[in-house]
Structure 1
Amino acid sequence: MSLGALDAASAYGRALGVGTGLKTGGAAAAGGASAGEEGGFGAMVDNLVSNAADSLRTAEAASAAQVAGKGDLIDVVTAIGAAETALDTVIAVRDKVVNAYTDIMRMQI
């Protein structure tokens, strides 16, 4: 999955609940953590991982209900799609953080 800068800023803004997050430009407008924000980036990542785990649990429960004959196939497909999207987002954020860390470590002082 390829995640561009605009997609990342949009996903970050949605996770924070501020729309696209690109109102005035710059890191602060994209949801950058400031001294007055509650939790900042760490809280956003924690929320993202928790939501992904909840989506995976919901998909697992829907699949189990379908196997038991009590669930609807449309609900299973929808839950699995939501879980896949959440997991892809978590993986993309992780990859971007690892790439940023690698770039910082390669910088010469």
Structure 2
Amino acid sequence: MSIGALDAVAAYGRAMNTAAPKAGAMESAGEAPASGGFGGMIEHFVTDAATSLRTAEAASAQQVAGKGDLIDVVTAIGAAETALDTVVAVRDRVVNAYTEIMRMQI
């Protein structure tokens, strides 16, 4: 499946519209508003993935110590795996887009 530049731009626009918080939504949650744009979105994805990985690691440590539930461990590991797969997929798309832009003739 080939994805054109306009398809990528349209997908990015849709992602920004769905991922952009409503005015005051982040402030009411006690979080600082993230910087807008692509860099802020990537930072958000990486931060969420790191949080998921830490949660999975903590659940695994509790299970090893005999204090955790196996279902919680499996759920946390599944969420962490999904978050990591998402970050890797976005990274791959960004690298592919960059190499394609570099090949363009001006």
Taking structure 2 as the reference length, the TM-score comes to 0.71
Structure exhibiting the larger radius of gyration computed from Cα positions: 2
Q: Is the 8 A contact 1:52 1:83 kept in 2?
A: yes
User: What is the CA-CA distance between 1:12 and the residue it aligns to?
Assistant: 3.1
Q: Is the 8 A contact 1:48 1:90 kept in 2?
A: yes
Structure 1 residue ranges, 4+ long, deviating more than 2 angstroms after superposition? 9-18
- What percentage of aligned pairs have identical amino acids? 72
2:88 to 86, 91, 101: 91
User: What is the CA-CA distance between 1:108 and the residue it aligns to?
Assistant: 1.1
1:36-74: CA deviation from partner (whole Å, max 9, x where unpaired) = xx5211111001100000000000000000000000000
Q: Tell me the residue number matched to 2:76.
A: 79
Equivalence map 1:1-109=2 (5 Å): 9=11, 12-13=15-16, 14-16=18-20, 38-109=35-106
Segments of 5+ residues of structure 1 without an aligned counterpart are 19-37
